[in-house]
Amino acid sequence: MSRNTSLITRAVEFRSDADPGDGLTLSGYAAVFNQDTEISSWEGNFSEKIAKGAFTKTLAERTPVMQFDHGHDPRTGTVPIGVYTELREDTHGLYVAGRLHDNDLVLPIRQAIASGALTGMSFRFRVIQDTWTDEKGRKLDAEAAYDRLYRGEKLARTIREVALSEAGPVVSPAYAGTSVGVRDTNTIITSSQAARRLRLIEL
């Protein structure tokens, strides 16, 4: 089994609930199942989808932290902006609901969500199990997949299990794959180096 060791992010649209009480509740889908999405990043261009059940184990193990802009906002930093009260998989995807903290730092974020200015949610995770296929539907192991990506071939990836660490609203919810610490698109690496950075082979 191959195991990816890099943290990556994906983003989707979400909505804030019209809470008639205090307006501090948000909810939405942090991930949508079986939806093909075109990923373009340093490791190559490929189609990706998340399989139903990918979050089952991670949700039983821990509750992800709720942060704004992945903790990069200069005002809130890495301090959680709220807490998740519900996380569950259904037929559509990963549904999340939570309560925003009621303080001056979180207030502008809450107002932006309520007004519709913030409509994106991004989640950070590590891939535990995935499968790759070529254009003819043939399965590939991780080494072969990254080698073909390096040569410019178009492949498809299905994420089957993840370790979810953090999720929350973001300013720019473009659905794009990134790897922490490997964000310089001018860096040239070989396919074997890419494979080593993205996964750990368990013997």
| Residue 11, pLDDT score | 63
The pLDDT score that the predictor gives to residue 6 is: 61
Count up the domains in the chain and report the number.
1
d(CA 199, CA 203): 13
Per-chain mean pLDDT for the chain: 77
78 in Cβ contact with 70 (< 8 Å): no
Most confident range, picked from 48-52, 90-94, 96-100: 48-52
What pLDDT was estimated at residue 135? 92
Residue 9 domain boundaries: 2-201
Q: Which of 163, 128, 174, 146 is nearest to 46 (CA)?
A: 146
- Residue-wise pLDDT for 127-171, tens only, equals 999 999 999 999 999 889 989 998 889 999 999 999 999 988 888
pLDDT for the residue 153: 92
On the question of pLDDT at 59 being above 70, the answer is yes
Q: What is the mean pLDDT of residues 100-116?
A: 87
